[in-house]
């Protein structure tokens, strides 16, 4: 989806013009993928613009930095303030939010220690990642030929820019094969996740979702859906999910900041259930949108932009 230009981007402590938000071509991040980021949504709710689970996103960003032994010269509170400042400066009511920490210009070598750690925050208008039709009717996906890495080869719990080279390979393969998205297997051959989404299956009324040990990102929307599902009376099991479950599941869906709650209607051109979004999926999608659009928020997941 094209990025829609706004007026200001926050960079290293101040707002700059969109076209002035630049880095040097020899910045470490360009050569070695040393960036860590979050994808966050601000919704124009019935009670005003509000960010979904901002605190959890910022905490995950700092967890990613810890895993990669990187010190950010800002506190979590300062990152939150920068995000709110950027949204307000651009007068946004609904937007996608991208805070990104990266290693800047200093040295060119694998060792990142001599390069500064910098922070930028950008916001822009962004609709449904996989399209409104996908939310309503579901998408066709494939099992990727690319596996997620083994736990001791790449830290998949970190949301690092370099990690997404694999996601790009998955996505390209899927699109070129006529699918919308791909699902990767883990090193054991069990289900892992999509190129940028977590995965749920429904079988005999029970929700199944792969564990962190299957090389998934600890998704924030995933946790919210898991909580909503249990409150609605569904049993949720987190554990290894064999590949063949995709062919006998009654329902499947992706979750994520970008994907929100997107039904999966087929895998490898085999229908999931009836081939249409199922009742459990749509009930959870409705519950999720009730929070982020109607501000029915008993869990206090929303951070309102124009209140303290």
Q: What mean pLDDT, rounded, does the chain reach? A: 96
**Predicted structure pTM score:** 0.95
- Tens digit of each residue's pLDDT (9 = 90 or more) over 112-130: 999 999 999 999 998 776 7
State mean pLDDT over 14-29.
97
User: Hey, is 232 helix, strand or coil?
Assistant: coil
Q: Which helix (H) or strand (E) holds 41?
A: strand 40-45
Mean pLDDT of 190-203: 98
Whether 237 is catalytic is no
Q: What is the 3-state secondary structure (H, E, C) of 101-141?
A: EEECCCCCCCCCCCCCEEEEEEEECCCCCCCHHHHHHCEEE
The string of DSSP letters for 232-279 reads TT-EEEES--BTTHHHH-SEEEEEETTTEEEEEEEETTEESTTSS--H
pLDDT confidence band for 131 (50 / 70 / 90): confident
Q: How confident is the model at residue 132 (pLDDT cuts 50, 70, 90)?
A: confident
| DSSP per residue, 166-202 | HHHHHHHHHHHTT-SEEEEE-TTSBEEEESS-EEEEE
- Catalytic one of 4, 47, 91, 159: 159
Band the pLDDT of 227: cuts 50, 70, 90.
very high
Domains annotated on the chain, with CATH: 8-124 (3.30.470.10), 132-292 (3.20.10.10)
- What's the confidence (pLDDT) of residue 230? 98
Q: How confident is the model at residue 104 (pLDDT cuts 50, 70, 90)?
A: very high
Mean pLDDT for 285-303 is 97
DSSP run (H or E) holding 270: strand 270-271
pLDDT of residue 308: 54
Q: What's residue 133's pLDDT? A: 87
Give the tens place of pLDDT for each residue, 59-98.
Answer: 999 999 999 999 999 999 999 999 999 999 999 999 999 9
């Amino acid at each position: 989806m094209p990025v829609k230009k706004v007026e200001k981007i926050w960079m290293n402590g101040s707002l700059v013009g969109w076209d002035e938000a630049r880095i040097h071509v020899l910045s470490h991040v360009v050569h070695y993928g040393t960036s860590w980021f979050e994808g966050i949504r601000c919704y124009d709710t019935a009670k005003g613009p509000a960010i979904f689970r901002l605190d959890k996103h910022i905490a995950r960003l700092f967890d990613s930095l810890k895993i990669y032994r990187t010190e950010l010269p800002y506190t979590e509170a300062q990152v939150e303030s920068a995000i709110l400042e950027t949204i307000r400066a651009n007068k946004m009511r609904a937007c996608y939010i991208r805070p990104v920490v990266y290693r800047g210009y200093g040295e060119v070598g694998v060792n990142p220690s001599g390069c500064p750690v910098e922070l930028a925050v950008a916001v822009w208008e962004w609709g449904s990642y996989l399209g409104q039709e996908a939310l309503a009717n579901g998408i066709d996906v494939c099992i990727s030929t690319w596996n997620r890495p083994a736990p001791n080869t790449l830290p998949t719990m970190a949301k690092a820019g370099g990690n997404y080279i694999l996601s790009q390979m998955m996505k390209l393969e899927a699109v070129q094969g006529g699918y919308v998205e791909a699902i990767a297997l883990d090193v054991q051959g069990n289900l892992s996740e999509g190129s940028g989404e977590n995965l749920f299956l429904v079988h005999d009324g029970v929700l199944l979702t792969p564990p962190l040990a299957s090389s998934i990102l600890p998704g924030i929307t995933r946790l919210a859906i898991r909580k909503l599902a249990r409150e609605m009376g569904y049993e949720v099991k987190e554990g290894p999910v064999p590949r063949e479950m995709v062919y006998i599941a009654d329902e499947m869906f992706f979750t994520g900041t970008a994907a929100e709650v997107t039904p999966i209607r087929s895998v490898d051109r085999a229908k999931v259930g009836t081939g249409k979004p199922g009742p459990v999926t749509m009930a959870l999608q409705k519950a999720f949108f009730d929070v982020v659009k109607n501000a029915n928020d008993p869990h206090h997941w929303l951070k309102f932009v124009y209140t303290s």
